[in-house]
Structure 1
Amino acid sequence: MKNAPLVHGTETVHPVDQFRPIRNLIPFGIQHVLVMIATPISSVFLIGSALNLSAHLTAAILSAVFVFSGLGSLLQSVGVWRVGVRLPFVMLPGGAATVLFISIAQDTDLQTAAGAVVLTGIFYILAVTLFVRVLRYFPPLVIGTMVVVIGINLVEVTGYLITGRPDTPGFGDTKNLILGLITMVCTVLFFRFLRGVWRQLSVAFGLVLGTIVSAFMGMTTFSSHAKGAGFSLPTLFPFGVPHLDVVAAVPMLVWSIASMAEATGQTVINGEIVGRHVERTRDIPRVIRADGAVSIFGGLFGTPAMVTSGENIGIVRASGVRSRYVTAAAGILLILIGVSPLASILGGIPSAVVGGTAVVVFAIIIVLGIQMLARVDFTETGNLITCTMALGIGLLPVLIPGMYGELPSDVQTILGSGVAMSALVAVLLNLLFHHTGGSAKSSPAEPPVADVKERAGDYRV
């Protein structure tokens, strides 16, 4: 039976802890890498173009991002002492963190931007003790709402890989739309008609077939990316010694609080997918400490802040492969890519193919959030209003980008983050309805929901 627990004597090995055969680890690890490959490449290319970095410096940062993504994935998957959660996770440069890195560098300099990353990593580690004390205010009602917004936000971001950005040349190009659709359709067909291990690799097969189709359409750019590509190692202090300026780092420090809330939701939903109980005071600090440690060392090598990503959670759910050693294998592959020419060559995969694959994976995250919310009793007015307002306010900046553009940049950082706003609103309203006197019950005239046992103020996984 797929993913059945292994029994050794009287001990049962949970599927998360099963070390699968190498012949399975490698292809499943490759599948994780293929799905998330666009994020490190796009993040570094965005930094390089926005800050006018040389090709040599951009290549050094790309190498560092891959290496530290790999190290972070290994750390979260395998764990060292109280650092790393030992769940199937990958680590990537944060999207908002990349934008903040660029903003701080433009306002000050690259050394200060790198210093802000280091300070953020330190803040993660120092603040986590206080953060876990407020986790009781993150019940399934709050986390489920956050996960839905996270998934929608990811679909929106990766959708632009297919369409391009509005008001830019090539926006809505027909070839890209067709290529993205072909990739999605192929992925769905693989899920429908393949069986066993082959079905578990459907996402990877969809991406590979989409790439092959794009080659026939003349849309791949492997040859141009291969020019000048060679073996390299990350460079220590590529911008010079980081400058630790707390004032300049404030926007990134504020963002890190929202990042910790996002990590909470991702950890809980990952635990549910793999069937392992998440102990909030033990496991979530382990996730955040790993983010902090990797960000500190990554900042010394020029990377933006690194965060445990939800990008692979949909893969775990879709494939049914729950072993944390699969993402550990993905971490090793990322390190090898980072020191090899592959880091540049893989940039030749058309963005529409990556986007088509990612849309399927990230839409699964939305469904997982809905599945979590299905356990909440929405006949209670407090639960209904909390979810309604958190979704509405959290989705506004996702659906209307730039709506807070006239506000100060620091305020934009918070209000413009759908995940941060949904978390903030959900926590505050949960406090209002369930932690300030009696909770808001449904009226007696409303029919009870007999099979819903969890109260919004409880935290159970």
Structure 2
Amino acid sequence: MKKNIQNSSIFEFYSRPPLSKALPLSLQHILAMIVGTVTVPIIVCGVVDASLEQKMTLIQCALIFSGISTLLQLYSIGKIGAKLPVIFGVGFAYVPTLTAIGAKYGISGILGAQLIGGISMIIVGMFIKKIRRLFPPVVAGTVVLVIGLSLYDIAINYMAGGIGSINYGSTKNWLIGFITLLVVLIVSQFCKGYLKLASIFCGILVGYLISILFGIVDFSPIKEASWFAFAKPFEFGMDFNASAIISMVIICVVNSVQTIGDLSATTMAGLNREITDDELSGGLIGNGVCTLISSIFGAFPTSSFSQNVGIVAMTKVISRYILGLAALFLLLAGFIPKFGAIMTTIPYCVLGGATITVFGMITLTGIKLIIKDELSTRNTTIVSLALALSMGIYLVPNSISQFPNWLISIIGDSPVILAAIIAFTLNIILPNKSLKDEDNERENIDK
């Protein structure tokens, strides 16, 4: 990545393409992640029985710190930030832990535990150079692979209309979802130039217009949202409870493995190289710093967004100016709630149709990472066991219904966490035998 601010190429990190070309490429990053970002505080508010005012404040904070965390990763401050084309924001992977803590200790209990969790992320980032050997491509690739696989049900539920909607599974939702998907495919495969790279944006735009014609777009959030709002520190308080802190630290450390996978996938798919130690350390430290500071204002933990990694992998667009615009729009949406409310009016079926191909790209990126290592018996055992156990339990959640609640909250709702634990553990304890070593063993057996 040669630093050249005069470069206008969208395929260079240190570039500044014209706004007319950068804007649609930036917007599709926002559209791919904004619903997931605002959904986290909405779910938590339902558990803690928060007021409408508290809900709007938490949504506002989620958008603001999603923008801040992304800008920090793109431009970095010293050793804080990866300086890679990635989108960070309030992470959906934390939801099971957040709801478990919130139900028992409230929002203040979540934020107190989150502050300690952010510190644990920073510690992992500081020592990642020394422990990076514990996360070879076979481990990081397995995590990325499971990330992709675990997102498929989200895309399908979106295309069906979103879980809990009164018209879930209707033919109207599926029709709009497939039209959106068809537009994405046509534009990405048959068009050329910048239009081709903005295929997801084009699909969402067409799907949204059709949704308006079908009368399924709800504009009430725009009317209800205020024009300006500002976050206040310690508005929700902060309590420290041992069990909540332990659960949060575990999920934060494990999520760091997911971040390693996403950052590795970004450099592999977008920059055609492996990630450096400094980039990895900066990314993890930056995520920890944002998670820590955001707890003071009421935003929940941040993490990398895998669907945006998929967009980078699919388009190869890595200009930080383009992703920086997305971050600025998130900040704007946070300070001007009416702007953010417009984004939330996009129907789930449109988002599902536009992003399902992106999730597939994440899966393929994970496979590419895995095959960078030798496909020895040892490595295939790591991948197969992590994949089978994590996805198996995810598909059959009742199989661990008798486990302690704290353990279910860690491994039951997120196959990524279990896959990371299994792959990490097996990589440490299994003998490190190469294909050549295995061939020699077979030859000795014959003798």
Structure 2 length normalisation: TM-score?
A: 0.90
Deviation digits for residues 133-175 of structure 1 (CA, Å, limit 9, x no counterpart): 3220222222222111011112222322223677985442222
Q: 2:95 is matched with which residue: 93, 98, 102?
A: 98
Secondary structure (helix, strand or coil) at the match of 1:221 reads coil
Contact 2:159-2:177 at 8 Å conserved across structures:
yes
Q: Does 1:30 align with 2:30?
A: no
Would the alpha carbon gap of residues 157 and 207 (structure 1) be closer, same or farther in structure 2, given more than 3 Å must change? same
> Residue 436 of structure 1: CA displacement?
8.3
Q: 1:129 is matched with which residue: 126, 131, 154?
A: 126
Deviation digits for residues 207-265 of structure 1 (CA, Å, limit 9, x no counterpart): 1111111111111112x112222223343246532123343221111111210111111
2:429 is aligned with what amino acid? L
Percent identity of equivalent pairs = 23
* Aligned equivalent of 2:184: 187
User: 2-side partners of 1:445 and 1:394: how far apart?
Assistant: 32
> Residue 33 of structure 1: CA displacement?
0.6
Q: Which has the higher helix share?
A: 2
User: 2-side partners of 1:199 and 1:36: how far apart?
Assistant: 20
Deviation digits for residues 339-387 of structure 1 (CA, Å, limit 9, x no counterpart): 1111123221111111222212111101111222333433x22122222
1:59 is aligned with what amino acid? M
* Aligned equivalent of 2:86: 89
User: 1-side partners of 2:40 and 2:24: how far apart?
Assistant: 25
Deviation digits for residues 68-87 of structure 1 (CA, Å, limit 9, x no counterpart): 10011111011110011011
* Aligned equivalent of 1:281: 277
* Aligned equivalent of 1:158: 155
* Aligned equivalent of 2:247: 251
Contact 1:236-1:301 at 8 Å conserved across structures:
yes
User: 1-side partners of 2:321 and 2:239: how far apart?
Assistant: 37
Q: 1:78 is matched with which residue: 59, 71, 75?
A: 75
Deviation digits for residues 86-117 of structure 1 (CA, Å, limit 9, x no counterpart): 11111121113233222212101221111112
Contact 1:381-1:442 at 8 Å conserved across structures:
no
User: 1-side partners of 2:316 and 2:84: how far apart?
Assistant: 14
Would the alpha carbon gap of residues 8 and 318 (structure 1) be closer, same or farther in structure 2, given more than 3 Å must change? closer
Secondary structure (helix, strand or coil) at the match of 1:92 reads strand
Could you list the runs of 5+ residues in structure 1 that have no partner in the other structure?
Answer: 447-461
* Aligned equivalent of 1:392: 388
Secondary structure (helix, strand or coil) at the match of 2:307 reads coil
* Aligned equivalent of 2:334: 338
* Aligned equivalent of 1:451: none
* Aligned equivalent of 1:360: 357
> Residue 334 of structure 1: CA displacement?
0.7
* Aligned equivalent of 2:377: 381
* Aligned equivalent of 2:301: 305
Secondary structure (helix, strand or coil) at the match of 2:71 reads helix
Contact 2:125-2:283 at 8 Å conserved across structures:
no
> Residue 6 of structure 1: CA displacement?
8.4
Q: 1:328 is matched with which residue: 324, 341, 360?
A: 324
Deviation digits for residues 259-308 of structure 1 (CA, Å, limit 9, x no counterpart): 01111111111111222644543221211111111112211121211112
Contact 2:11-2:316 at 8 Å conserved across structures:
no
* Aligned equivalent of 1:39: 36
Would the alpha carbon gap of residues 108 and 327 (structure 1) be closer, same or farther in structure 2, given more than 3 Å must change? same
1:41 is aligned with what amino acid? V
Would the alpha carbon gap of residues 167 and 312 (structure 1) be closer, same or farther in structure 2, given more than 3 Å must change? closer
User: 2-side partners of 1:356 and 1:14: how far apart?
Assistant: 26
5 Å-filtered alignment, 1:97-116, equals: 97-116=94-113
Contact 1:119-1:246 at 8 Å conserved across structures:
no
Secondary structure (helix, strand or coil) at the match of 1:15 reads coil
Q: Which moved more, 1:84-93 or 1:228-237?
A: 228-237
Contact 1:5-1:14 at 8 Å conserved across structures:
no
Contact 2:11-2:318 at 8 Å conserved across structures:
no
Secondary structure (helix, strand or coil) at the match of 1:360 reads helix
Q: Does 1:370 align with 2:362?
A: no
Contact 2:84-2:279 at 8 Å conserved across structures:
no
Would the alpha carbon gap of residues 403 and 347 (structure 1) be closer, same or farther in structure 2, given more than 3 Å must change? farther
> Residue 17 of structure 1: CA displacement?
1.9
* Aligned equivalent of 1:294: 290
User: 1-side partners of 2:211 and 2:143: how far apart?
Assistant: 35
Deviation digits for residues 176-229 of structure 1 (CA, Å, limit 9, x no counterpart): 22222221111111112211011010011111111111111111112x112222
Would the alpha carbon gap of residues 200 and 420 (structure 1) be closer, same or farther in structure 2, given more than 3 Å must change? same
Q: Which moved more, 1:200-209 or 1:433-442?
A: 433-442
Contact 2:44-2:102 at 8 Å conserved across structures:
no
Q: What RMSD, in angstroms, separates the aligned Cα atoms of the two structures?
A: 2.8
User: 1-side partners of 2:294 and 2:152: how far apart?
Assistant: 27
1:172 is aligned with what amino acid? G
User: 2-side partners of 1:311 and 1:219: how far apart?
Assistant: 25
Secondary structure (helix, strand or coil) at the match of 1:348 reads coil
Secondary structure (helix, strand or coil) at the match of 1:307 reads strand
Contact 1:62-1:343 at 8 Å conserved across structures:
no
Would the alpha carbon gap of residues 414 and 53 (structure 1) be closer, same or farther in structure 2, given more than 3 Å must change? closer
User: 1-side partners of 2:182 and 2:206: how far apart?
Assistant: 11
Could you list the runs of 5+ residues in structure 2 that have no partner in the other structure?
Answer: none
* Aligned equivalent of 2:401: 405
> Residue 442 of structure 1: CA displacement?
4.4
1:24 is aligned with what amino acid? K
Q: 2:58 is matched with which residue: 57, 61, 65?
A: 61
User: 2-side partners of 1:83 and 1:276: how far apart?
Assistant: 23
> Residue 20 of structure 1: CA displacement?
2.1
* Aligned equivalent of 1:50: 47
Q: 1:172 is matched with which residue: 169, 173, 176?
A: 169
> Residue 14 of structure 1: CA displacement?
8.3
User: 2-side partners of 1:137 and 1:397: how far apart?
Assistant: 25
Q: 2:260 is matched with which residue: 249, 254, 264?
A: 264
User: 2-side partners of 1:118 and 1:360: how far apart?
Assistant: 36
Contact 1:119-1:296 at 8 Å conserved across structures:
yes
Contact 2:5-2:16 at 8 Å conserved across structures:
no
User: 2-side partners of 1:254 and 1:149: how far apart?
Assistant: 19
Give the aligned length.
439
Q: Which moved more, 1:355-364 or 1:241-250?
A: 241-250
